[in-house]
Amino acid sequence: MKNEEKKEIVKSENDLTFKEIWDTLSAIDVSEYTEEKMNLTYLSWARAVMLVSNVYEMKYKFCDIDGLPYRLLPDGSAEVITEITIGKHKRQMALPIMDYKNNAVKEIDARQLNDNRMRCLVKNLAIFGLGMSVFAQWDNHLPSEEKDDKPKDKPKDKPVDKHDEAWAKLFVESIELLIKKAKTVDSLQSLYTSPTNKEQFNILKDRYSEMSDEILNKFKLKKTELQNEEN
């Protein structure tokens, strides 16, 4: 008689309730896998994925927005979005793309994109219960010293100009990437006519006419290229 290998891993089934998943993952002690950085406690993404995979089958993905690996925000910064599925339960999470000081950045490099994607994945897993206690002390991702030092009755600052040159460059780079990816004249045209982008284009034209002229010229060239392909 063959000895059956005892399975310690309980794989996810579609009849699992979200509460059952939460109760199981929130009960895991992650303290031995955490580390301290900038007065905050972090859980390694590799450890987080390992701990969950030892209990449930999980699927995850990094979400693209309009062909970009992040969602561009009005102030010129951006956020990454992840999606995790365990059993029949799917949850998404967003995280601002930040530098090592936890400040949102506008000029994003590949390293920052990758690091924040993995951090967002850990935050996403916390929604299922794993390491939620770690994120409870983040308090909107600000170190406690910074929060405590803020005066409670600080007068409101003047509104910050969200459409500065850094925003313009990032917006143009994003649109250029989408222009290259356009497969039809209609999809190309929708980039310009969508209500959100139309407003941004108008601001770009008013404040940075040279950048506006440059991106409009690329629209025309791409349109001609697509029309020739369709003919």
Q: Are 84 and 91 in contact (CB under 8 A)?
A: yes
In a domain, 156, yes or no: no
pLDDT at 160 over 80: no
In a domain, 94, yes or no: yes
Tokens of 190: 């929708």
Distance between the two ends of the chain, CA-based, in angstroms? 71
What's the chain's Rg over C-alpha atoms? 23
What is the spatial distance between Cα 72 and Cα 8, in angstroms, rounded to a whole number?
43
Per-residue pLDDT tens over the stretch 48-101: 998 998 889 899 999 999 889 999 998 899 999 999 999 999 999 999 999 988
41 and 91 housed in the same domain: yes
pTM, full prediction? 0.55
pLDDT band at 105 (very low <50, low <70, confident <90, very high): very high
Domain of 68 in residue numbering reads as 18-143
What is the spatial distance between Cα 93 and Cα 85, in angstroms, rounded to a whole number?
12
Into how many domains does the chain fold? 2
In a domain, 12, yes or no: no
Residue type, 70: Y
57 and 90 housed in the same domain: yes
138 and 189 housed in the same domain: no
